[in-house]
Amino acid sequence: MSKRDYYEILSVERDASEREIKKAYKRLAMKFHPDRNPGDKQAEANFKEVKEAYEILTDSDKKAAYDQFGHAGVDPNRGHGGGNADFGDVFGDVFGDIFGGGRRGGGQRQAARGSDLRYNLELSLEEAVKGLTKELRIPKLTTCDTCDGSGAKKGTTPTTCGTCHGQGQVQMRQGFFAVQQACPTCHGRGKIIKDPCNSCHGEGRVEKSKTLSVKIPAGVDNGDRIRLSGEGEAGEFGAPPGDLYVQVSVREHAIFVRDGNNLYCEVPISFGKAALGGEIEVPTLDGKVNLKIPAETQTGRMFRMRGKGVKSVRSHAVGDLLCKVVMETPVKLNDRQKELLREFDETLTGSSSKKHSPKAEGFFDGVKKFFQDLNS
């Protein structure tokens, strides 16, 4: 019976990254895990199929052989030269056969370190600026407590593989060549578990959720990562665990925009306040403060409030708050207000208009000269 395509099993594209492959594997492994499907033979078969696909596609040598030769490239029972061996393996074994030597040292595969995990943590701007402690619930593979990660039933121990005699590799011959490949019986571990642990089914690891208390330092920003050493998934059969990376993203704020350690905001002011000057209240992350507006302030002017920004998580320098004042045109005027504005506007026209509106006068003088030049 022909095997299914490994990429099809994991539902990933052939150019999928290792991260995408791991993500697909974890999702399917949880779905078909025997603990979640007791007595379901089909789920058990699917679980084994998913595990096999994952092991091939996350091993760079096996993946390359599979991409080139298909299942024949990774089948230890076939002698295809593309299997697990590199050029060093091939020629080392060839000359070893000719001159009576052999490979020095055992080829037993070391138990793999646990996978690193990533947790996406979304924070408000206030939380990111001030820092806090978050409780995170992380689902992951942890060392089986029943067998202490050995995979063997309590009271038993793994035995030496009879096929490779504990070496983890066997020699496959193809004509003149002799190729070292992972032992098909123990899959390169050198040991066999005859009586698997009932809790982890010989895997040495079980799926559990762990609650961690994570301190988020003040000043973190989008893209910052917090590394928790040893809080990733447990390694295979006692190997070291991976790490957990907490990836920070900060939600958009209704008032402030952050740029590094500085904060920006727009503050609307009335025409009267812009013309005559005065004080207005502006928001900061620590509360309201008063900002003095000079007379004749133009819309778009930027005011800097030093030390009202964000404290850097790295240098501890504190940024500033930059307030852009935007003059707001009054709306829904009554008749009396409209009449007053007309009277006021009339006082600005005539010979004194240049004094009151120098930018407008300069603009229209430039427009006039532009058309004169076109017609000349």
- Is 323 annotated as a binding-site member? no
Q: Token pair 């009932």 is at which residue?
A: 198
Rounded to 5 degrees, φ, ψ at 72 are -65, -30
The tokens describing 33, both together, are 């895990």
DSSP notation for 82-99: TSS--HHHHHHHHHHHHH
The enclosing H or E element of 41 equals: helix 41-57
**Are the beta carbons of 285 and 192 closer than 8 angstroms?**
no
- Is 161 annotated as a binding-site member? yes
Type of residue at 101: G
Short-list 206, 165, 207, 172, CA closest to 189: 165
The enclosing H or E element of 322 equals: strand 321-327
The enclosing H or E element of 130 equals: helix 125-130
Q: Token pair 């991409």 is at which residue?
A: 67
**Are the beta carbons of 313 and 253 closer than 8 angstroms?**
no
Report d(CA 64, CA 272) in Å as an integer: 73
- Is 183 annotated as a binding-site member? yes
Rounded to 5 degrees, φ, ψ at 356 are -85, -30
- Is 265 annotated as a binding-site member? no
- Is 186 annotated as a binding-site member? yes
Q: In Å, what is the CA distance from 102 to each residue of 21, 161, 162, 171? A: 37, 20, 20, 11
For helices 41-57 and 18-32, angle between their N-to-C axes, nearest 10 degrees: 170
Number of C-beta neighbours around residue 112 at 10 A = 15
Per-position b or e across 287-303, b if 16+ CB within 10 A of its CB: eeeebebeeebeeeeeb
Residue 6 falls in which region: left (phi positive, over 0), alpha (psi -120 to 50) or beta: alpha
**Residue numbering of the annotated binding site for Zn(2+):** 144, 147, 161, 164, 183, 186, 197, 200
Which residues carry a binding-site annotation? 144, 147, 161, 164, 183, 186, 197, 200
